[in-house]
Each structure stands twice: as C-alpha cells, then as structure tokens.
Amino acid sequence: MLPAVRARLFSPHLASLPLSPSHSLKSRSVALSLRSPFSHSSRQNPNPHAPAAKPAVSDAVKFVRTVLFVPPGVEPEEVTDDMILPGSNIVLGPYVGDAKIKEVEFVKSSSRPKDCPKDQRPEFAMLGRSNVGKSSLINALVRKKEVALTSKKPGKTQLINHFLVNRSWYIVDLPGYGFANAPESARMDWSSFTKGYFLNRETLVSVLLLIDASVPPQKIDLDCANWLGRNNIPITFVFTKCDKMKGGKGKRPDENIRKFQELIRENYRQHPPWIMTSSTTGLGRDELLLHMSQLRNYWDN
Ligand code: GDP
C-alpha cells in the first residue's frame, strides 16, 4: 500500500476536529468511559409507531465522537454506542471481517529488515518493553502456548520474527526494548535495529505498541510512542495486564492509561486507536482481533 493510502487509513475524519486545551482533561475522562455517555435507552424511540427519526445527539455524544478512532467507511456522525468496541476508543466499520485465527505458522526470523518476507502480505508488528506481556498476548491471540516461545529462544530475541496467520497475514514479534536489569551488553540497540523496519516496511498495517497498564507511564514507552507518532507510523496502543490491581499501592490501570494518553497527546493530531487487554482474563482479545480485521481488510482492498 502506498504511504499516502496508508496515511488515509490512520488519519480518518478526526483530523479536522480540534481539541482545545480546555477539552483535554474532559476528553481523557470521556475516553476512558466511552460507554456511559450515551446509553442504549437514550437512543430508543419513545413512540414505536412514530416514523423513525434520527436520534437526538447530545453535546456529550458529539464530544465523545471526537476522541474515537473512526475507521474508513464510517462518518463520525453515524457512530452509535454499539459500534464502539468495549474497553477501547475503536469504532467498528464496514471493513470488519472474519477475525478468527484458524492456523498460525512460524515463518522466519530476520536479522535485518531487508531479510523480512517479501510476499506483500499485510502485517502487524508487536512491540513493547521487555516483560510487558508480549509473548503472553501473542499466545492468547493465537491460542497456542508454544508460538511466542519461538521468539524467546536464545538468539531469537533480537530478531524480527514473522508468524503467518491463516496463510494470509503476519503477526510480527519485534524485539522487546528496555531490559531494566540487563547488563549494558545485553541491552538492545533498538534504534538502529528496528527504525529501518518501521520506516521502510510497506506492508506494515499497524504497530501494536504494548503498554503495561499496571504501572505508571514509563519514559521509554513514551519515547517510543512519540518517535512513532513523529514519524507517522500507524499505531494502536494495546494496554496489557488490565486485570492487575496493585494491592493498595500504585495507580489503577485506567488511571495509568489516562495519564499515558495525556502524555503522548501532543505528538498525535488525532486519537490513535487504543484498547485494554489482559492475557490472564482474555479481556480485549476478540475485540483486538476485530480491530485488526478491519484494518487488514481495508488494506487489502
Ligand atoms: P514479554 O517479555 O513481553 O514477552 O512478557 P511475558 O508475556 O513473558 O510476561 C511477563 C510477565 O507478565 C509474566 O510473569 C506474565 O505472567 C505476566 N503477564 C503477562 N500478561 C499478563 C496479564 O495480562 N495479566 C497479568 N496479571 N500478568 C501478565
């Protein structure tokens, strides 16, 4: 897909909707409670015999629409409550397709971006800090324990690992960054290793940037998100470990997510898609696959 087309995929209608500073606080709280502002009951027609009228749209609903990820094929004003994936800001549109994973096969490990598969299939790159829960999420998505273990084998952790799903698209496991306790020699030079991949990989539909929601925003994640944003790399924020409530101390996942979004806001003109997940409870798994299906199907068309 040409870069311009790719840009359109991830720069939908929201670009034109300004977010003033006075909106920002409000938007953050609305973004995290998307389902409450417009309940099903408020959209019901009180007189079932009356001709179907367009439901009234409150300011709150109009505002919530400005923080949503509205995919191609949907106009923001068409969005209704049941089009929004729970635990996310993602609207489902006409490109949603079969999201089931029927088979997955490890294809190859590449040490350089130019060694990656050249068959032009669309791909999603999974990226995150070491220990963010990337292997667990990949295993949960494909429902196989051994898949992400491949990339944990010694020697494969610094490689770009391609997994072919349903013989039609790839999940790409990228090296984790920021090994907190590793000696300097074992730390990955993420910048030189993967920057080329992000900047040149034509078949990259979206980076799934995994962020641990059980801890407050980390500088290294913010740096990574900001770099991707500045370089217009399509991104979906996947918050992991959303089941985890630190016993009394620390912040709750939704507070950490809100803070993270606040901190990356200035590098994104629109709200990137984001979704809450837990590999322990299965939260967000099916929803994330649906989101990926609509991005993929749009890319394919
Ligand atoms: P990776 O280094 O990013 O591949 O992370 P792993 O998948 O190996 O997970 C790191 C640690 O976080 C392990 O102890 C996992 O059991 C734990 N973990 C991963 N996902 C979740 C989750 O959704 N909830 C909770 N509570 N723990 C998780």
Q: What is the pLDDT of residue 300?
A: 84
Q: Quick one: how far is CA 49 from the chain centroid?
A: 42
Condensed to tens digits (0 to 9), the pLDDT of residues 104-162 reads: 999 999 988 889 999 999 999 999 998 999 999 999 999 876 666 555 665 556 789 99
Three-class SS of residue 206? strand
Q: How far is the CA of 246 from the centre of ligand 1 (A)?
A: 15
Q: 279 in ligand 1 pocket by Cβ < 6 Å?
A: yes
Instruction: Tally helices (H) and strands (E) across the chain.
Output: 8, 7
Pocket probe mutation, ligand 1, options 135, 136, 150, max atoms within 8 Å of Cβ = 136
Measure Cα distances from 83 to 54, 65, 144, 191 in Å. Answer: 16, 11, 29, 37
134 Cβ below 6 A of ligand 1: yes
Please give the DSSP secondary-structure letter assigned to residue 159: S
Instruction: Report residue 41's pLDDT band, with 50, 70 and 90 as the boundaries.
Output: very low
176 in contact with ligand 1, CB cutoff 6 A: yes
The per-residue pLDDT for 47 is: 47
According to DSSP, the β-strands at 169-173 and 160-165 are antiparallel
Which pTM does this prediction carry? 0.80
For the cut 90, the answer to whether the pLDDT of residue 187 exceeds it is no
From the alpha carbon of 131, which atom of ligand 1 is closest? 2
Does the Cβ of 285 fall within 6 Å of ligand 1? no
* pLDDT value at residue 156: 57
Please state the atom number of ligand 1 nearest to the C-alpha of residue 281. 23
Name, of 136-145, 226-235, 249-258, 288-297, the range with top average pLDDT.
288-297
Q: Is the per-residue pLDDT at 7 higher than 50?
A: no
Ligand 1 geometric centre to CA of 137 (Å):
8
Higher pLDDT, 251 or 260: 260
